[in-house]
C-alpha cells in the first residue's frame, strides 16, 4: 500500500502518519520541500527523533541548506525508495504538492530552450512573482529573487496533458475550517518562538545569501529581515503568521485542482476519531 497524506501546514499530517505507520507497519517518506534540509527544524515543524517512535523515516535531513535540492531530485529519490521498499507499506507525508505530483505521476522535465529566453525587462519583481504563481501556485521563490523568477518562468518544466498516475496510491487529505486552521497556524508560530526559532535562525544567518532554501523558507526569510534591521521582531512574527496562512490557502487550492484527494475533517478534541475514520476508509477500499 502506498498512502499519501496531504493538506495545509499545521493540520495534523505528521501525527496521522505516525499512527497509521504503527497500524500498517509502514515506512514514512517526507514530502515537504524544506524538511529535506539539515538544521531547518523548528521553523519547518520537522518531526523529532522521539516523535518518530522508531519508525523508519526517509528524505528528512538529506542535504545542506547551501545545496540546491529540486523537484527533479525529489522525483528521483522518491521513486528509488518506492522501488527499494516495494514490498512494504509506504506513507508519504507533506504539503509540497508539486514534489508529490512529479514523483507519483508521469511528470516529465523538458530541457530548457536557451534560444527562446525572455528577460522580462518590462516587468517588475512583483509582476514576475505573480506570473510565477500562476505557473505553479506551490512555488516558493522569494519575490525579490528576480534572477530565479526569470529562470523559473523560462524553464519548460511541464507534465503531460493528461498526467498518468504511475503507482497505486490513496490520497488522504486532512482539513478543518479556515478560522480553526488560521488559529492553529498562529499558535504554532508562537510555539516555534518559545521553542527557539530565533536562535535557530541566528545560527543560519551567515549562510542566508548562499542558500536558496533560506531565502524562500517561511519563518527564516522574515527573521533574516529582522536581523538585517529592516523590520521589528513583532513585525517578523506577524509576517510569518501571514505568509503561513497564505501558503495554507495555496496548498488547498493546489491539491483540490491537481489530485483526487479523500478529505477528512480533523477532530482536534479527539484525534483518535480521525484516525479511526481514515482506517475505516482504507479498510473499505
For the stretch 228-281, pLDDT in tens is: 999 999 999 999 999 999 999 999 989 998 899 999 999 999 999 999 999 999
Say if residue 33 is in the same domain as residue 82: yes
Which DSSP state fits 57?
E
| Distance from C-alpha of 234 to C-alpha of 211, rounded to nearest angstrom | 25
Q: How confident is the model at residue 20 (pLDDT cuts 50, 70, 90)?
A: very high
pLDDT of residue 162: 54
Residues 118, 95 share a domain: no
Residue 33 lies in a domain: yes
Asked if residue 237 is part of any domain, the answer here is no
| Co-location of 103 and 32 in the same domain | yes
| H runs (alpha helix) in 136-232 | 146-154, 178-195, 197-204, 212-216, 221-227
Helix and strand numbers (H, E) in the chain are 12, 6
Task: Tell me which of 37 and 154 has the higher pLDDT.
Answer: 37
Q: Could you tell me if residue 275 is inside a domain?
A: yes
What letter would DSSP give residue 159? B
Q: What percent of the chain has pLDDT over 90?
A: 69
Identify whether 165 is part of a domain.
Answer: yes
DSSP readout, 105-128?
BTB--PPP-GGG----TTS-HHHH
Q: Structurally, how many domains does the chain consist of?
A: 2
pLDDT, averaged across the chain: 90
15 and 172 Cβ atoms separated by less than 8 Å? no
Is residue 78 located within the same domain as residue 118? no
The answer to whether residues 14 and 152 belong to one domain is no
pLDDT tens per residue, range 174-222: 999 999 999 999 999 999 999 999 999 999 998 887 788 888 899 999 9
Question: What SS3 class is residue 143?
Answer: coil
pTM: predicted TM-score of the whole model, two decimal places: 0.82
Q: Does one domain contain both 128 and 165?
A: no
Band of pLDDT at residue 120, cut at 50, 70 and 90: confident
Verify that 265 and 279 share a domain, yes or no: yes
Cα 57 to Cα 28: distance, rounded to the nearest angstrom? 5
Contact 39, 65 (CB under 8 A): yes
Considering the domain boundaries, does residue 200 fall inside one? no
CATH at 267: 3.40.50.300
Residues 173 and 77 in one domain: yes
Find cell 516495494 and name the residue. 86
State the residue range of the domain holding 148.
112-156
Q: Taking residues 44-48, what's their average pLDDT?
A: 95
Amino acid at each position: 500500500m502506498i498512502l499519501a497524506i496531504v493538506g495545509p501546514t499545521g493540520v495534523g499530517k505528521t501525527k496521522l502518519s505516525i499512527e497509521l505507520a504503527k497500524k500498517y507497519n509502514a515506512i514514512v517518506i517526507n514530502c515537504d520541500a524544506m524538511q529535506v534540509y539539515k538544521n531547518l527544524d523548528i521553523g519547518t515543524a520537522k518531526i523529532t527523533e522521539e516523535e518518530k517512535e522508531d519508525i523508519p523515516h526517509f528524505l528528512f535531513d538529506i542535504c545542506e541548506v547551501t545545496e540546491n535540492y529540486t523537484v527533479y531530485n525529489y522525483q528521483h529519490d522518491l521513486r528509488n525508495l518506492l522501488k527499494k521498499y516495494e514490498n512494504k507499506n509506504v506513507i508519504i507525508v507533506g504539503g509540497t504538492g508539486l514534489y508529490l505530483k512529479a514523483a507519483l505521476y508521469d511528470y516529465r522535465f523538458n530541457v530548457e530552450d536557451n534560444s527562446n529566453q525572455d528577460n522580462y525587462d518590462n516587468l517588475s519583481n512583483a509582476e514576475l512573482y505573480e506570473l510565477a504563481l500562476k505557473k505553479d501556485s506551490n512555488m516558493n521563490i522569494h519575490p525579490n529573487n528576480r534572477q530565479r523568477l526569470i529562470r523559473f518562468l523560462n524553464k519548460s518544466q511541464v507534465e503531460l496533458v493528461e498526467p498518468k498516475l504511475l503507482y497505486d496510491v490513496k490520497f488522504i487529505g486532512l482539513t478543518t475550517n479556515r478560522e480553526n486552521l488560521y488559529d492553529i497556524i498562529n499558535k504554532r508560530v508562537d510555539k516555534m518562538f518559545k521553542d527557539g526559532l530565533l536562535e535557530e535562525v541566528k545560527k543560519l544567518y551567515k549562510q542566508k545569501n548562499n542558500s536558496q532554501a533560506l531565502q524562500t523558507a517561511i519563518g527564516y526569510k522574515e527573521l533574516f529581515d529582522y536581523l538585517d534591521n529592516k523590520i521589528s521582531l513583532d513585525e517578523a512574527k506577524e509576517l510569518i503568521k501571514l505568509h503561513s496562512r497564505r501558503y495554507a490557502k495555496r496548498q488547498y487550492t493546489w491539491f483540490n485542482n491537481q489530485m483526487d484527494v479523500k478529505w477528512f475533517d480533523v477532530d482536534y478534541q479527539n484525534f483518535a476519531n480521525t484516525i479511526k475514520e481514515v482506517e475505516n476508509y482504507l479498510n473499505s477500499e
